[in-house]
Amino acid sequence: MDFSYTPQEEEFRAELRAWLKENLPPGWLEGNHKLPEDPKEEEAFLRAWQHKLADGHWAGVSWPKEYGGRGASLIEQVIYEEEMARVDAPPQVNAIGIGMIGPTIIALGTEEQKKRYVPKILNAEEVWCQGYSEPNAGSDLAALTTRATLEGDHWVVNGQKIWTSYAHLADRCFLLLRTKENPQNKHDGLTCLLVDMHQPGVEPRPIHQMNDHRDFNETFFNNAIVPKDEVLGEVNNGWYAAVVLLSFERVSVANVAFRLQQAYDGLLAYCKRHERNGRPLIQDPLVRNRLAGYHARVHAAKLNFYRNLTRQIKTGRPGPEGSMDKLYCSELLKELNGYAVSLQGAQGELWQDAEEEGKWQEEYLSSFAMTIAGGTSEIQKNIIAERMLGLPKDIKY
């Protein structure tokens, strides 16, 4: 495998670095990564940041140039993730719109839909959420029951979604639901609607998470109205659109691989900064042993990621190997952050009063999310077992 970058890729990296140096919020490169505490101010800050990224054509780098992106290659997208992780850049408030919904509208939308929605996704003028999961439909997404019926020139939507990230601040939702009375099977008779979140029939209720964030919601639809033509793809063939959207989710695995490196670097620095029993943690042989193990595993995870990326570039298809990356990186990230908390001994049980203002507690509790979102670790294991190892198929009910 060739690890060197082409001059064009190096130029891409240099241009991004220069732009970040010029445009990151004041004090960011010096280590002040605090977002405003007030939720409304935080939202305004993040929308403004994404607007700035869009102005510099750094919001949707993989998007075609004609839609305001850069048409970046897979390697350039990975360089982008690496550089953003290196400076721990503020997140994109419309990450779901940029990563999944925009590309799906570009792929399947009518010209009218593309013109209407795509530019506002890019600059976060309209934030989107993804309404897939329900209380009884997560891993088995096609078991969903939220329903829409056509009444004259509009759809009427009733039901409940859950875990809808950013629904509480979203302007629009990409909603997957049932539209057929007697489907042939559970994948039949689904439709994707593009829903206005600012209407009386839509009520997002934020969920208080164990990491103290309130990023996702239960979302209730009670006679919500959607104009008849706000369908993405074909009526009753929504499973196809749903799968197209999920295929764009895979690229974000790169994000976990680089977050892992970032977490390891942070852990190493932490062990140099803090003492136990009168000497720096880094001098304790047991700690050194664990750090050496993490160093090797993080390196192996990145090499594996690059190997799978090379395969993807050669074949033009993502393949099941991405499941291995997601499983390994997300589980390792959780373990590594948990180890940082355990190094604090009894203090580890504290929250903001713990060392480093509870940074490691927050990171640890947050790192469970990546082992669930985008397909749980067990589902990744099923994919690896069936599609890579050729083991018998999981029982489908």
Ligand X SMILES: Cc1cc2nc3c(=O)[nH]c(=O)nc-3n(C[C@H](O)[C@H](O)[C@H](O)COP(=O)(O)OP(=O)(O)OC[C@H]3O[C@@H](n4cnc5c(N)ncnc54)[C@H](O)[C@@H]3O)c2cc1C
Residues that bind ligand X (CB under 6 A): 129-133, 138-139, 163-165, 216, 369, 372-373, 376, 378-379, 382, 394
> Using CB atoms, what's the residue nearest to ligand X?
138
Give me the least distance between CB of 246 and ligand X, in Å please.
Answer: 10
Nearer to ligand X, 145 or 283 (CB): 145
Residue count of the chain:
397
Give me the least distance between CB of 228 and ligand X, in Å please.
Answer: 24
Give me the least distance between CB of 358 and ligand X, in Å please.
Answer: 20
Nearer to ligand X, 142 or 225 (CB): 142
Backbone angles phi, psi at 277, to 5 degrees: 50, 40
Pairwise CA distance, residues 39 & 35, whole Å:
10
Give me the least distance between CB of 16 and ligand X, in Å please.
Answer: 26
Nearer to ligand X, 16 or 175 (CB): 175
Nearer to ligand X, 132 or 155 (CB): 132
| Residues 6+ positions from 347 with CB-CB distance below 8 Å | 354, 355
Nearer to ligand X, 140 or 357 (CB): 140
The active-site residue, picked from 126, 249, 321, 362, is 249
- 118: tokens are 């795509």
Give me the least distance between CB of 366 and ligand X, in Å please.
Answer: 9
Nearer to ligand X, 38 or 378 (CB): 378
CB 132 within 8 A of CB 101: no
Pairwise CA distance, residues 294 & 262, whole Å:
12
76 is catalytic: no
Task: Count CA within 13 A, CB hemisphere, residue 91.
Answer: 14
CB 380 within 8 A of CB 226: no
| Residues 6+ positions from 232 with CB-CB distance below 8 Å | 104, 105, 108, 109, 113, 174, 192, 193, 194, 238, 241
Pairwise CA distance, residues 350 & 166, whole Å:
28
Give me the least distance between CB of 79 and ligand X, in Å please.
Answer: 25
Backbone angles phi, psi at 69, to 5 degrees: -90, -160
Write b or e for each residue in 275-310: b if 16 or more Cβ atoms lie within 10 A of its Cβ, otherwise e.
eeeeeebbebeebeebbeebeebbeebbebbbebbe
CB 178 within 8 A of CB 189: yes
Alpha-carbon dihedral 331, 335, 338, 340, rounded to 10 degrees: -130
> Active-site residue numbers?
249
